């Protein structure tokens, strides 16, 4: 299975990508919120 075939398979048969992006965004937003204002 080629990389693009695998990506298409995941997009059509799984919600892993959306779940990862949601969790990563939440993590980064919280991390940024905890940083000093001058360093943002």
Q: Of 20, 24, 28, give the one whose Cα is nearest residue 11.
A: 20
Residue 16, C-beta contacts closer than 8 angstroms, at least 6 positions apart:
10
What is the pLDDT, as a whole number, of residue 40?
Answer: 64
What is the pLDDT, as a whole number, of residue 31?
Answer: 94
Sequence ranges of the domains in the chain:
15-40
What is the pLDDT, as a whole number, of residue 17?
Answer: 85
Q: Which two tokens stand for residue 18?
A: 């959306």
Q: Which two tokens stand for residue 35?
A: 């940083």
User: What are the pLDDT digits (tens) for 1-40?
Assistant: 899 999 899 889 999 888 999 999 999 999 999 988 877 6
pTM: 0.61
């Amino acid at each position: 299975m080629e990389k693009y075939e695998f990506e298409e398979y995941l997009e059509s048969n799984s919600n892993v990508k959306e779940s990862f992006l949601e969790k990563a965004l939440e993590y980064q937003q919280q991390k940024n919120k905890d940083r000093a204002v001058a360093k943002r």
